[in-house]
Amino acid sequence: MKIYIILLALFFSACSNDNLNETTDEQSQEFNISGHIKNAKGSINVQEIAQSGLILIDSSIILDDGSFELTGLVTKKTFCTIRLSGVDIPLLLDTATKIVIEIDTKNPDSYSINGGIENSELKILHAIMVEANNEAIAMQSKYEKIFGDNIPIGIQQDKFIPERDSLANKFNNKMKETALGFNSIVPYFISSFFLELADYNYCKAVDAKLFSQFSSSKYAIELHTRVIEMSRSAIGAFAPEIKLHDPFGKEIALSSLRGKIVLVDFWASWCAPCRKENPNVVKLYQKYKDKGFDVFGVSLDKNRENWIKAINDDKLLWNHVSDLMEWNSPLVKTYNFESIPHTVLIDREGKIIALNIRGNELESKLAEVFLK
């Protein structure tokens, strides 16, 4: 079975259910994109990147000489992608800048773009994406040369997944550090469309640095609101109360575990990465339960039978609760996460001391906590 090693959310992928589409009474104005495409026929288009997905703005036939022109209406600076067969290039549209782009489909990552400092900055970020993908491909090839398409579960857990996660963290950090050096709207591109997981520290830094400058932007408004919401479940905050029913209908509150070190584990029976992580959580639970460690499993299941079966199959001997609403659970917004497994480690007073840690990182953190 092929193991997917997507390290970073692609810039044209939506990451949440919120819709950033802006309603405004401002008058739309026309933008202009032109340029030349080598080694390509057919059409090219420009699409707005929105949380609801990609929204087509304009398309154009590539002429025999490779030239094209795209036009359309926008009201404010808008993150988009140029798309043609096998090629996606991020750019920022506005009505004050004429954009000229040159692309060779045989080497699309070496495209050139003129028009606005933001588009030069987006090209820098695009280069980091390319570097990350190349390293990911090389890593996968290394394992496939040894194991083919069927990497053993033990190798996945002990070597492949830790190496993949380390690589992802390296490039996520490089992307964020680079973007935070820009004094433009581009850092909002990372927070809205790129990071696979919400990153409170990054979002807070962008908001603090740029909100006053871009307070009328839909991206800045959305992030500002999100930072306020994220602060309620950030490290140092008291974990929001969770009070739901277990598989037998008994209501259990997270606060009932006060006095223990608790791992709040958001998971689901249908979530393969969650199920792969469960043996590690079981191991750590057995190691530290007599020292005051507990796990509070919160399932995003919809089917009660599947939920119970997974608990029994994986031998998860701790408290489990669910509202059986999957991603419609209010807790998704309360705890500000976009994928599972998602973990929240809280101290004996109920304060959050770590977020989204698992595997070796969780093991190290618990060792540190119980040495104190």
Q: What is the pLDDT of residues 268-284, one digit of tens each?
A: 999 999 999 999 999 99
Phi, psi of 297 (to 5 degrees): -85, 125
For the record, the structure tokens of 64 come out as: 């025999």
Nearest Cα residue to 57 out of 73, 76, 78, 33: 73
Nearest Cα residue to 337 out of 187, 181, 222, 232: 232
Contact 97, 74 (CB under 8 A): no
pTM for the model: 0.71
Phi, psi of 333 (to 5 degrees): -75, -40
Contact 14, 194 (CB under 8 A): no
Gap between the Cα atoms of 124 and 92, Å rounded: 13
More confident residue, 168 or 317: 317
The per-residue DSSP string of 280-318 comes to HHHHHHHHHGGGTEEEEEEE--S-HHHHHHHHHHTT--S
Contact 185, 135 (CB under 8 A): no
Gap between the Cα atoms of 152 and 3, Å rounded: 11
Q: What is the pLDDT of residues 104-122, one digit of tens each?
A: 999 999 999 999 899 999 9
Separate counts of helices (H) and strands (E) for the chain: 10, 15
**Taking the CB of residue 82, how many other CB atoms lie within 10 A of it?**
24
pLDDT of residue 193: 81
Residue 99 pairs with which residues in a beta bridge?
33
Nearest Cα residue to 235 out of 199, 261, 208, 211: 199
Mean pLDDT of 161-188: 91
Helix (H, G, I), strand (E, B) or coil at 266: strand
Gap between the Cα atoms of 185 and 58, Å rounded: 23
pLDDT of residue 195: 66
* pLDDT at residue 364 is higher than 70: yes
Apex CA 104: angle with CA 102 and CA 109, to 5°? 90
* pLDDT at residue 15 is higher than 60: no
Q: Taking the CA atoms of the chain, what radius of gyration do you get in angstroms?
A: 23
Model confidence at 28, in pLDDT bands (50, 70, 90)? low
User: Using CA of residue 49, residue 54, residue 55, residue 57, what is the dihedral sign?
Assistant: positive
Helix (H, G, I), strand (E, B) or coil at 161: helix
pLDDT of residue 86: 77
Gap between the Cα atoms of 352 and 239, Å rounded: 6
Apex CA 50: angle with CA 45 and CA 102, to 5°? 30
Which has the minimum average pLDDT: 48-52, 216-220, 314-318?
Answer: 48-52
User: Using CA of residue 325, residue 219, residue 227, residue 88, what is the dihedral sign?
Assistant: positive
87-93 and 78-84: which strand pairing? antiparallel
Which residues, other chains included, contact 273 with Cβ-Cβ below 8 Å and sequence gap of 6+? 340, 341
For the record, the structure tokens of 77 come out as: 């600076």
Mean pLDDT of 319-326: 97
What's the mean per-residue pLDDT of the chain? 88
DSSP 4: P
Phi, psi of 14 (to 5 degrees): -80, 145
